[in-house]
Amino acid sequence: MHRVLVNSVVRNCLILAAGVGLIFMLFPNLIHALLRSDQFMPHATCYLRNPQMIWLHVSSDLVIGISYVCISTTLAFLVWKASRDIPFHWMFLAFGLFIVTCGFTHFMEVWTVWQPVYWLAGYVKLICGIASAATALALFPLVPKVFALINSVRLSERRKADLESANHDLEAFAYTVSHDLRAPLRAIQGYATAFDLDFEKDLQPEAKKYLARISEASKRMESLLSDMLQYSRVSRTEIQLSPVSLQSAIGDATRELQADINQSQAEMVLEPPLPDVIANTMLLTQVLSNLLSNALKFVPNGIRPRVQVRAREHDGFVRVSVTDNGIGIPPEYREKIFGVFQRLHTEEEYPGTGIGLAIVQKAMLRMNGRVGVDSPSAGGSCFWIELPKADSTAYGDGSEPSETVNP
Ligand code: ADP
């Protein structure tokens, strides 16, 4: 990045120097005209060659000139780095130009202490005057726009607060619905089972088939409700963020899935090192468990699942990737699958509710992390999560023992 900045500064300076050189080549007398001193006397003579007076002026003008150049360079750097995010960024450039020309008038003050190049000093002042006047004129029409911007920021802050409150209400509603619907659902399941047991002999085959459908549908509804409840809990529970061992979180998640791993005879490859991260133990285990269980599940029939977990560090963050040899995900669905109830397959092809990845995304958000999915060239999918490294500055200086994140 620094090399790009230096290259761009050097390139612009060279263009400027070439432009100035061209002007002097076309008008060779210009240099002479600008540098002529006529019968003028240098400022030092006015100061009666008093060394204290001379150095007082020279040092002050130098400091002012250098500071102006630094300020305008910083403004130009800001605009170059964030022109899209800075409103009216051209105004910053105008300020930069105005300030840098002011700086040059002070450099000229230093020069004229010993050399009476007042023509050149005058023209530098003229350029500064033009830049100042242009900036002042451009500033006036900006005032109402700045007020409009302030108002729209206030409005969007109010909207954000309204949205957060509505979101909170919605989460509370989802929690209550998913929690309270479980009791009547259990009653339906209980009565369907009792009906089947008590009247088994009297039931026609058709009636038995209907009962089996009721039982299947209520089981599906139960798993949907329980996943919804889990999703609501991830949003609402107060959590602590602290250093967590990735190794042990992966171990816990793998143990939870041991039955599936045994059944599918999956090959699990954990590549060390697995550094500690800043997270919440419960949420991180749940995230890993969801990703691993999908990696085991979405594999074509007859293929032995191979799941590889590895971690890479960069810029104070740890990226944990879970790569499988499964059916893969078409690029156009890679964002969609993180939505609630979003599935790419029928229940018959691959069982599930479509909430697992929504839980992963919500949990990562709550842990100040990120989640995404890539397609390895060898096929399958590669889900990754990113969290601050435990001893990195990405999470303060690592000395903070824990952080509480409110729902
Ligand atoms: P569920 O697993 O209950 O279907 P998820 O939210 O975990 O729900 O996943 C959403 C959808 O994303 C899945 O239905 C599947 O289509 C797709 N998906 C998730 N993980 C994988 C994976 N490892 N390989 C292929 N497809 C996947």
| Residue 228 to residue 237: CA distance in whole angstroms | 14
Answer yes or no: is 262 within a domain: yes
Please give the backbone phi and psi of residue 49, each rounded to the nearest 5 degrees, phi first.
55, 25
- 334-365 residues labelled b (16+ CB within 10 A) or e (exposed): eeebbebeebeeeeeeeebbbbbbbbbbbbbe
User: How many whole angstroms from 118 Cα to the centroid of ligand 1?
Assistant: 76
Answer yes or no: is 173 within a domain: no
Query: What pLDDT was estimated at residue 396?
Result: 43
Query: What pLDDT was estimated at residue 236?
Result: 79
C-beta 376 within 6 A of ligand 1: no
| Residue 263 to residue 67: CA distance in whole angstroms | 71
| Residue 348 to residue 378: CA distance in whole angstroms | 27
Residues 227 and 245 in one domain: no
3 state SS of 382: strand
Answer yes or no: is 172 within a domain: no
Residues 244 and 352 in one domain: yes
The candidate with the shortest Cα–Cα distance to 277, out of 387, 397, 404, 393, is: 387
25 to 18, 28, 32, 374: CA distances (angstroms): 10, 5, 12, 57
Instruction: Round the CA-based radius of gyration of the chain to a whole number and report it.
Output: 35
Query: What pLDDT was estimated at residue 397?
Result: 41
Residue identifier of the C-alpha nearest atom 16 of ligand 1? 344
User: How many whole angstroms from 337 Cα to the centroid of ligand 1?
Assistant: 7
Q: What domain count does the chain have?
A: 3
Query: What pLDDT was estimated at residue 2?
Result: 55
Residue identifier of the C-alpha nearest atom 3 of ligand 1? 352
Q: Which ranges constitute the DSSP H helices of 237-277?
A: 246-256, 258-264
- 271-297 residues labelled b (16+ CB within 10 A) or e (exposed): eeebbbbbbbbbbbbbbbbbbbbbbbb
Domain end (from 210, 235, 260): 235
pLDDT tens-digit profile of 113-161?
999 999 999 999 999 999 999 989 988 888 898 899 899 999 999 999 9
pLDDT tens-digit profile of 259-297?
999 999 999 999 988 899 999 999 999 999 999 999 999
The candidate with the shortest Cα–Cα distance to 342, out of 360, 320, 327, is: 360
Atom of ligand 1 nearest to the CA of 344: 16
C-beta 287 within 6 A of ligand 1: no
Residues 363 and 267 in one domain: yes
Residue identifier of the C-alpha nearest atom 11 of ligand 1? 343
Query: What pLDDT was estimated at residue 138?
Result: 87
Residues 37 and 96 in one domain: yes
Q: pTM to 2 decimals?
A: 0.64
Query: What pLDDT was estimated at residue 260?
Result: 92
C-beta 312 within 6 A of ligand 1: no
Answer yes or no: is 213 within a domain: yes
Query: What pLDDT was estimated at residue 3?
Result: 64
| Residue 178 to residue 226: CA distance in whole angstroms | 7
Residues 65 and 14 in one domain: yes
Domain end (from 114, 140, 166): 140
C-beta 305 within 6 A of ligand 1: no
| Residue 45 to residue 38: CA distance in whole angstroms | 15
Structural domain range at position 28:
2-140
Residue identifier of the C-alpha nearest atom 13 of ligand 1? 343
Largest pairwise CA distance in the chain: 127
Is the previous residue joined to 273 through a cis bond, with omega within 30 degrees of 0?
A: yes
All residues at 6 or more sequence positions from 124 whose CB lies less than 8 Å from its CB, including other chains: 101, 104, 105, 108
- Cβ atoms 379, 325 nearer than 8 A: yes
C-beta 344 within 6 A of ligand 1: yes
Can you list the residues of the chain whose pLDDT is less than 50?
394-407
Beta bridge partners of 271: 310
Query: What pLDDT was estimated at residue 405?
Result: 41
User: How many whole angstroms from 294 Cα to the centroid of ligand 1?
Assistant: 6
